[in-house]
């Protein structure tokens, strides 16, 4: 039994090598992705703000909400026709809008914000009640995604939830999140990006129980707890 406990302890310790995530760095990555790297597609909803300089000291602030059409275009006021933005990043879309408005106004100042993404997903697996895909919305946090997935099972390892993220260059990164700190100590929640995978690990005691079930109980020629075990027949 001592050897079994030592083996389990070594295995559990080896599973906790990833460092805790840096909340500020994750938030900055999320902001940069939303402003620069997010690629627009049909169904995305945008808020477009255009400060139009009509004359000296005369500025008109115009905010429009538009949805990217099935053909990848948006229609904006004061422009002669639709703009094609499908497949462009938000930064490139802003540049496109600025150039289009230059034909109408002096020194147009434009900001573009994604307020609703078309159907994309993050994925929740492991110790939750309803593992699977969760529709992504800008600003979605890990706790919100886990709530949609039915919340944690009692076997979860609260202090070591992992987020797997595929980078644009194909590289993989893993973040370690302490949900106890988020739930009980007001630590920042983890801001998700489309395609993130949340893996809710089993706790140490649950791992030990699974090991015993797999390598001991299933190999025995009888079931532990069977009322016939240890009884005598006359």
For every one of its 234 residues, what pLDDT tens digit does the chain have, with 9 covering 90 and above?
444 334 334 434 444 556 788 888 999 988 888 877 788 988 899 999 988 655 555 555 688 999 999 889 999 988 889 999 998 999 899 999 999 988 877 788 899 998 888 878 999 999 999 999 999 988 999 999 999 999 998 888 888 899 999 876 667 899 999 988 998 988 999 999 988 999 998 876 655 655 555 555 655 665 555 555 444 444
Contacts of 25 (CB under 8 A, 6+ apart): none
Residues 135 and 173 occupy one common structural domain: yes
Give the CATH number for residue 158: 3.10.560.10
2 in any annotated domain: no
90/49 same-domain check: yes
Residue found by looking up tokens 């993050």 in the block: 122
Check: CB of residue 180 under 8 Å from CB of residue 161. no
Find out whether 122 and 198 touch, Cβ atoms under 8 Å.
yes
187 and 81 housed in the same domain: no
Total domains, the chain: 2
Q: Which residues contact 106 (CB under 8 A, 6 or more apart)?
A: 53, 54, 55
Residue 225 lies in a domain: no
Instruction: List 174's β-bridge partners, or say none.
Output: 164
Q: Residue 165: what pLDDT?
A: 92
- Concatenating the DSSP letter of every residue in 67-133 gives E--TTSEE--TT-SS-EE-TT-BHHHHHHHHHHHHHTTSEEEEEEEEEEE-SS-EEEEEESBSS-EE
Structure tokens at 18: 């990833």
| Of 81, 98, 116, the domain-final residue | 116
Amino acid 9: pLDDT: 45
In a domain, residue 234? The reply is no
- Asked if residue 11 is part of any domain, the answer here is no
pLDDT at residue number 204: 60
What residue numbers bound the domain in which 196 lies?
Answer: 19-33+119-209
Query: Are the CB atoms for 21 and 190 separated by under 8 Å?
Result: yes
Determine the Cα–Cα distance for residues 90 and 44; give it in Å rounded to an integer.
11
Position 8 scores a pLDDT of: 39
Q: Is residue 75, in this structure, part of any structural domain at all?
A: yes
Residues 127, 196: one domain?
Answer: yes
pLDDT of residue 45: 92
123 vs 150: CA distance, rounded Å:
13
Spatial distance between the Cα atoms of 37 and 233, rounded to a whole number of angstroms: 74
Distance spanning both ends of the chain, measured CA to CA: 35
Q: What is the pLDDT of residue 103?
A: 82
The answer as to whether 228 is a domain residue is no
- Indicate the residue among 116, 143, 163 that finishes a domain: 116
Flag whether 218 is in a domain: no
- CA angle at 229 for the pair 228 and 234, rounded to the nearest 5°: 60
Q: What is the pTM of this model?
A: 0.62
Q: Please, is 87 exposed, middle or buried when counting C-beta atoms within 10 Å of its C-beta (0-12, 13-18, 19+)?
A: exposed
pLDDT of residue 166: 83
Same domain for 74 and 24, yes or no, is no
pLDDT for res 1: 42
Question: What per-residue confidence (pLDDT) applies to 232?
Answer: 43
Do 194 and 146 belong to one domain? yes
Examine the fold and report which residue of 69, 85, 116 is the final residue of a domain before the chain moves on. 116
Same domain, 105 and 156: no
Are the C-beta atoms of 61 and 51 separated by less than 8 Å? yes
- Residues 165, 130, single domain; the answer is yes
The predicted pLDDT at position 119 comes to 78
Position 155 scores a pLDDT of 85
191 and 138 in one domain?
yes
127 located within any domain: yes
């Amino acid at each position: 039994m001592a050897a079994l406990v030592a083996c389990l302890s070594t295995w559990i310790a080896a599973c906790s090598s990833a460092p805790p995530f840096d909340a500020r760095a994750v938030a900055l990555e999320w902001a940069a992705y939303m402003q620069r790297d997010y690629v627009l597609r049909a169904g995305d909803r945008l808020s477009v703000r255009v400060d139009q300089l009509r004359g000296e000291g005369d500025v008109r602030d115009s905010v429009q909400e538009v949805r990217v059409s099935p053909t990848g275009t948006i229609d904006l006021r004061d422009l002669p026709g639709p703009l094609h933005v499908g497949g462009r990043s938000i930064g490139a879309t802003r540049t496109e809008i600025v150039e289009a408005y230059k034909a109408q106004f002096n020194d147009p100042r434009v900001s573009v914000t994604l307020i609703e993404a078309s159907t994309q997903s993050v994925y929740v697996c492991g110790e939750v009640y309803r593992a699977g895909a969760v529709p992504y919305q800008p600003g979605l946090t890990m706790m919100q995604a886990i709530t949609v997935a039915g919340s944690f099972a009692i076997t979860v390892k609260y202090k070591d939830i992992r987020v797997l993220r595929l980078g644009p260059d194909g590289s993989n990164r893993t973040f370690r999140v302490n949900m106890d700190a988020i739930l009980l100590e007001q630590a920042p929640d983890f801001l998700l990006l489309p395609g993130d995978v949340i893996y809710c690990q089993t706790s140490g005691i649950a791992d030990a129980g699974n090991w015993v079930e797999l390598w001991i109980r299933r190999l025995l020629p009888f079931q532990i707890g069977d009322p016939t075990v240890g009884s005598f027949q006359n």
